[in-house]
Structure 1
Amino acid sequence: MSNQINRDNNHMKLKQLLIIIALLPLQVIAFAGLTPEQSTKFKEDLTYYLDTIKHNYAYFEQKETDWQQVSSFAWLHFNKVKNRTDFLTLIERLQIELYDNHMQLLNSFPFSPKVLPSSADIYAEYKDGKALVVNLMADSAAHKALEIGDEILKINDQPVFKALSRYVGNSFAEVNDDIYSWALNVVLAGDRGKERFLTIKRNQKTINIPLAETQFLSFSTPITSKRIDDFVYIRFNNSLGNNDILQLFPQVIEEAQDTNGLIIDLRTTPGGGNSLIARAILGHFIEQDHFYQMHESPYDQKNFGVKRSWVEIASPLKPYYSKPVMVLVNQWTGSMGEGIALGFDTMQNATVIGTKMAQLLGSMQDYRMPNTNIGFKVSTEKMFHVNGIPRENYRPKVLVTISTKNVDEVLEKALELLSQ
């Protein structure tokens, strides 16, 4: 009888234990390790990711990155992967090795790095051991609180170099100021869902500044247009992938026919767009087919020794606008916005004015890992001005150094040139 009672008690304890295990969070159970099947699937996906970038990324020769060393690092740390969260965290860590804002993952966590320049309200540069504010996004939290030329001493109570080191990779032949500047801007964009806290030096004074979390640009309309004296000002509101432009832009150009000049503002286009919208814009300023940007795919050269390149053409559209055009750009002119600026630069009646642009590298292609379905973008094509200058190296014909946030110096320069 007592044996039966003991068996019943043991059975009851086993049932209770199974219930407790069933109620445990999945991430707790995952610490027990991957099953052989899970491990195989993650290994296949890591191999796919590493090989895809190795064979298709177009900009290795411009980077300090040793991708073989990155691969060794990846497999060394793969042993720490216990679940999907760990795996995606590892992939995010590998992305840092390319220090390329165009190389984005299509999956993310609440703690993932923000997308730049879309989520940035500060553009800073690291030079000679100092982190300096170079430009500020208009109407942002940073624009209200910071000044051009502020030296950033701390970010979230960490000395600036320690803070940015979190985003400096391990595979670099040499760590230069471009890498430090990239890491600095990632840190300044802040963590998702969190405020930022900066310590700066301004006029020999140390100031502590709390900043709200950065936000994606949001607008109620794709285009903003208004009259300024005898000119029309047109701003694209991060809308270069919005097909509404196909109807709206011709209407604005028609209404501008009686003006003496046009200002096209591309300074709020960090999200890029597509070549359909680019051609739909550029077509109103040409009277015959016009080369506006050049592509190069290194894949054929790398794998077969045969170069492949081509030039993209914009074709005329009505209504045609013949008066002078000023095109405004800055560090938030991204991707297709940069391509449109290069297209205008090829036209005799257009002048590009502003700072250097976002310098986003190339044209992107999307890939997905076969098992986890984690997506990632790869810069597979190089982009050039039709004169052969790489898009990321292009500088405006009228280069403006921002000295104050209190005056729109780029717009003022455009109005000055139109009035001459």
Structure 2
Amino acid sequence: MNQRFLHLVIGFICLLLAPGGARAQKVPLTRQQYQQDFDYFWNTIRTDYCYFAQKQTDWNQVRALYRPQLDTLSSRRAFVRLLEYALAELYDDHAGLGTNRLDSRRLVPSGTDVWAEFVNNEAVVLAVRPGLGAERSGVRPGMVFTQVNGVLVEEAIRPFLPRALRRPDAAARNFALRHLLAGDHLSPRTWTLRTDGRPLTARPDEPIMKLENITYPSRLEARRIGNMGYLKINNCLFDNGLIAPFDSALTALMETQGLILDLRETPSGGNSTVARAIMGRFIASEGPYQRHELTGEETQTGIRRIWLEYVVPRGPRYAGPLVVLVGRWTGSMGEGLAIGFDALGRATVVGTEMAQLNGAIYSYRLPNSGIGFNIPAERLFHVKGQPRETFRPPVYIDLKTAAKGQSAATDPVLGKALDLLAKQKK
């Protein structure tokens, strides 16, 4: 289940069960306290957010647009919505609040089931998340969205477009499209698409809104495909408890002639401890896997701070050929693993563009309301200097082309990986 949604539901239940129920709520903040929180929020982003150079956002204009609204704001709920709008001006899916409302947009990419972008001014489906509502309702790569909930796409995205841009930015339009398609936690989505000249109506949240309850058979799936090994990590790169079962599963596959590591379902990212533990099982000597840059230090002092992060070998090494699979739901630390294996020269990376989440996030908390927020504060790079968010797999699969004439059960990325390993067999 979406963690923010789960926390909100649990908190509401606890409130109802507490003595006095809703009357037990804290005293509302004063206007001055809301202003103090907003100023802390705005100033922190101004100094620490590390992607302004890649954005068209006028951050001073953001303050001019949103701070006056605090004069009529009287509830935490309304303040959360104002912060959501202000943060969306960055059009950055790696920046977010630590709380939400039931009518807040789902998180991208972890709470989504389809990835689309504007291509020649059409909202084209580029990828579909397996097993969820979009796929179940017939949506496939290459289709074109024409309406969302009965409204033409160009009109429907307007509420999600940033208002404080110096000039138009295609990335901001794609951000708005992603959040339009994500929907909220309450309202079932209805999509109209065009496929081969014919209309398709898709209702991805029927019979249930499954994105609020994404489940996996296990954290780690392990099996043999012929004489090849296959390991799939299911959205738990943030859990140090993954390390022991990963080691055990890899040990059981040590005699295979090649291995596939599937990172296509890691949208929530993770931590570098887990990532380094995984990479450490495949290398013979230590080496750098990614480069960091703390731009806030340069902003404040004029001195650049850049460093490399290393991986150290550990445990029995798997020495056979390795292929790493990535896609649109490979996020954050999953992306770090992909560029790390590539930098170490230890694996062939196969798939599509990843989630393209910016940098490493730092967490902050507003002094009065206690609302948390996260923003990218470190830029991350391939050791050769390429920004992580622009990394494209050396073996690229165009899912729009691959989907033609194939069923939803066909997995062209996995098929390509098996072909590559078969060619590398000794």
User: Greater shift after overlay, 78-87 or 140-149?
Assistant: 78-87
Q: Does the Cα contact within 8 Å between 2:360 and 2:377 map onto a contact in 1?
A: yes
Partner of residue 321 from structure 1, selected from 308, 318, 323: 318
**Which of the two has higher C-alpha Rg?**
1
Partner of residue 171 from structure 2, selected from 168, 175, 178: 178
Render the CA deviation track for 1:257-286: whole Å, top value 9, x for unaligned: 211100000000001000000011000011
Matched, 1:408 2:411: yes
Partner of residue 247 from structure 1, selected from 237, 244, 249: 244
Task: List aligned pairs for 1:17-32, cutoff 5 A.
Answer: none
| Whole-Å separation in 2 of the counterparts to 1:341 and 1:316 | 17
| Whole-Å separation in 2 of the counterparts to 1:413 and 1:252 | 23
User: Greater shift after overlay, 267-276 or 127-136?
Assistant: 127-136
| Whole-Å separation in 1 of the counterparts to 2:236 and 2:334 | 10
Matched, 1:281 2:278: yes
Structure 2 letter corresponding to 1:40: Q
1:347 is aligned to 344
With over 3 angstroms needed to count, the CA separation of the structure-2 counterparts of 1:317 and 1:354, relative to structure 1, is: same
| Whole-Å separation in 2 of the counterparts to 1:356 and 1:333 | 9
| Whole-Å separation in 2 of the counterparts to 1:128 and 1:174 | 19
Render the CA deviation track for 1:324-379: whole Å, top value 9, x for unaligned: 10000001000000001111102334100000100101111111110011110011
1:14 is aligned to none
| Whole-Å separation in 1 of the counterparts to 2:175 and 2:216 | 27
| Whole-Å separation in 1 of the counterparts to 2:48 and 2:100 | 22
Task: List aligned pairs for 1:172-321, cutoff 5 A.
Answer: 172-212=165-205, 213=209, 214-215=211-212, 217-321=214-318
| Whole-Å separation in 1 of the counterparts to 2:213 and 2:261 | 21
Q: What TM-score, normalized by structure 2, do the two folds share? A: 0.88
Partner of residue 89 from structure 2, selected from 97, 101, 124: 97
Matched, 1:393 2:386: no
Structure 2 letter corresponding to 1:252: A
Q: Which runs of 5+ in 2 are unaligned?
A: 1-19
2:50 is aligned to 58
Q: Does the Cα contact within 8 Å between 1:217 and 1:238 map onto a contact in 2?
A: no
1:285 partner SS: coil
Offset, 1:216: 5.3
1:54 partner SS: helix
Render the CA deviation track for 1:49-87: whole Å, top value 9, x for unaligned: 000000000000001101011011112322231222221
| Whole-Å separation in 1 of the counterparts to 2:259 and 2:191 | 39
| Whole-Å separation in 2 of the counterparts to 1:80 and 1:406 | 53
Q: Percent identity?
A: 35
Matched, 1:370 2:363: no
Q: Does the Cα contact within 8 Å between 1:124 and 1:131 map onto a contact in 2?
A: yes
Q: Does the Cα contact within 8 Å between 2:134 and 2:202 map onto a contact in 1?
A: no
Render the CA deviation track for 1:91-118: whole Å, top value 9, x for unaligned: 1110110111110100111111111100
Offset, 1:207: 2.4
Offset, 1:406: 4.3
Structure 2 letter corresponding to 1:105: L
Partner of residue 75 from structure 1, selected from 62, 67, 76: 67
Offset, 1:194: 2.2
1:132 is aligned to 124
Q: Does the Cα contact within 8 Å between 1:342 and 1:385 map onto a contact in 2?
A: yes
1:157 is aligned to 150
Superposition RMSD in Å: 1.6
Hey, which bits of structure 1, 4+ residues long, moved more than 6 A? none
Q: Does the Cα contact within 8 Å between 1:294 and 1:384 map onto a contact in 2?
A: yes
Q: Does the Cα contact within 8 Å between 1:269 and 1:334 map onto a contact in 2?
A: yes
Q: Which runs of 5+ in 1 are unaligned?
A: 1-22
Partner of residue 417 from structure 1, selected from 411, 415, 420: 420
Q: Does the Cα contact within 8 Å between 2:288 and 2:344 map onto a contact in 1?
A: no
2:330 is aligned to 333
2:348 partner SS: strand
Render the CA deviation track for 1:1-45: whole Å, top value 9, x for unaligned: xxxxxxxxxxxxxxxxxxxxxx9x99xxx9xxx9xx701111100
1:113 is aligned to 105
The count of residues paired between Structure 1 and Structure 2 equals 389
